[in-house]
Amino acid sequence: MGCKGLAIGMLLLIGYCSTVVSGSIECSPVGSLMAVCSGFLNFGAPEPMLGSPCCKAMYSLNSMAATTNDRKEVCRCLVSLMATYNPNASAVARLPALCGVYLGFSAQPNLDCNSVP
């Protein structure tokens, strides 16, 4: 198993094993959705195409982030995933826009999720 498989496995692990729950959204679905994009998130390439499995995961993530509180929870999940897995930060920040999705915030490792509108 190469690096790519390992990285995907690690992202899946947090998706399925994460038990930290705060607020109404669980982080494990967020981790599972992000894991669909793990190739791009780890290497910054290739960029996901509209309608690809990765973008479909972003559409699902966007629909989870329907209210301000939900967006904050999704934000917290993304920040904690980034802290754990140290993906390509610019790839994380660009990912939703590449799929035509606007989450209401730009995911960055040091983002203050309380400031999410």
Ligand X SMILES: *[C@@H]1O[C@H](CO)[C@@H](O)[C@H](O)[C@H]1NC(C)=O
Q: Which stretch binds ligand X (CB under 6 A): 6-14, 28-36, 51-59, 90-98?
A: 90-98
- Binding map of ligand X across residues 14-43, x = CB under 6 A, - = no contact: -----------------------------x
**What's CA 41's distance to the chain center, in Å?**
9
Closest among 81, 92, 76 to 42, alpha carbons compared: 92
Q: Select the residue interacting with ligand X from 28, 32, 60, 88 (CB under 6 A).
A: 88
How far is 103 from 25, CA to CA, in rounded Å?
15
Q: Which is nearer to ligand X, 27 or 39 (CB)?
A: 39
Question: Any idea what the Cα angle at residue 79 is, between residues 83 and 39, rounded to 5°?
Answer: 75
Q: Select the residue interacting with ligand X from 77, 91, 95, 116 (CB under 6 A).
A: 91
Q: Select the residue interacting with ligand X from 16, 90, 100, 102 (CB under 6 A).
A: 90
Residues that bind ligand X (CB under 6 A): 43-44, 88, 90-91, 94
